[in-house]
Amino acid sequence: MAGNVSTAPLGNHINPEATFYVLVRDQKNRDPITYNTFPRAEPKKLSFVLNRRKYCKRSKSIREALEGVDSSLSDPNEPRRIEIENHDPDDFGVYVRWIETESLNIPTDDDDPLFPLLRMYVLADELGDYSFANILINDIMQVSRELEHTPSKKEIWFVWETIEEYDHPLKRLFVDYQIHEAAKESLIFEEYEQITFDYLNDVALQYWDLTKQERERRQSGREDVVFGVKCSERGMCYYHQHGIDRNHPSCAELGF
């Protein structure tokens, strides 16, 4: 989220029903064939006019960005403007339609049905709309289960290039897919030189940790399974995010 972000208290009374402007601009060209990222010749951009109350309630990042704008403007009637960088404006349009209509209409990709869901998840994650992110990760797991699909090199590259947090739920899901569901078939490691090192390192560390856990359990007489538990069998909430934000509904409230 670009712009002047601050959590300073508001100096002026702002009508919560007021609108604000969002400029969504994608300046990066991500090439899933060469696994390179380079600037676009012309940024792809689109503007939106949105209701302040509705979007501040859902998105922590939008709320903080608007608080920063509020604290920097002296005129409470001046239009509020924020920018969102390096996300496809069309994806943000999908998010807006979801908020306005609760209809999730994500563009399809016949070559990679998971990729549009992953892009939307990364957007929801950066917006801090964890309830939307949890719904999307459920869909990612559902599509993976139906297609018996483990993450491709393209998907791994995208997730590790765009999410910096180490122990992130989506990264954890991808690592678990490899360790518990794909490792026997060596579906991913056939061309390991084309996979980001950070992903391979995360898989190796998790595998080592699980091996240690299994050894300790057997030494204590336990025989419960450590390896081979499918991601879908861990429960809907295992890969969800549970922020401390009071405006974020719990999984129980969402029916998970």
Q: Is the pLDDT of residue 31 over 90?
A: no
Q: Are residues 60 and 183 in the same domain?
A: no
**pTM, full prediction:** 0.84
Mean pLDDT is lowest, of 2-16, 84-98, 108-122, 220-234, for: 2-16
CA dihedral sign, ordered 230, 152, 214, 138: negative
Q: Are residues 138 and 254 in the same domain?
A: yes
Kind plus residue range of the DSSP H or E element containing 83: strand 80-85
Q: Is the pLDDT of residue 182 over 50?
A: yes
Q: Are residues 255 and 164 in the same domain?
A: yes
Q: How confident is the model at residue 183 (pLDDT cuts 50, 70, 90)?
A: low
Number of domains within the chain: 2
Q: Are residues 142 and 239 in the same domain?
A: yes
| In a domain? residue 6 | no
Predicted local distance difference test score (pLDDT) of residue 109? 75
pLDDT of 197-235, one tens digit each?
Answer: 899 899 989 989 988 988 888 888 887 777 888 888 888
Most confident region among 109-113, 164-168, 250-254 by mean pLDDT: 164-168
The b-or-e profile of 140-156 (16+ CB within 10 A means b, else e) is: bbeebeeeebbbbbbbb
Predicted local distance difference test score (pLDDT) of residue 185? 55
Average pLDDT, the chain: 83
Q: What is the mean pLDDT of residues 56-64?
A: 92
Q: What is the DSSP string of 221-251?
A: T-----S---GGGG-TTTT----S-TTSPPH
Q: Is the pLDDT of residue 246 over 70?
A: no
Q: Are residues 166 and 132 in the same domain?
A: yes
The proportion of the chain whose per-residue pLDDT surpasses 70, expressed as a percent, equals: 84
Q: Are residues 44 and 71 in the same domain?
A: yes
What is the domain range of residue 117?
Answer: 106-256
Residue 26: count other Cβ atoms within 10 Å of its Cβ: 20
Q: Are residues 75 and 112 in the same domain?
A: no
pLDDT of 106-145, one tens digit each?
Answer: 877 767 888 899 999 999 999 999 999 999 999 999 988 8
Q: How confident is the model at residue 184 (pLDDT cuts 50, 70, 90)?
A: low
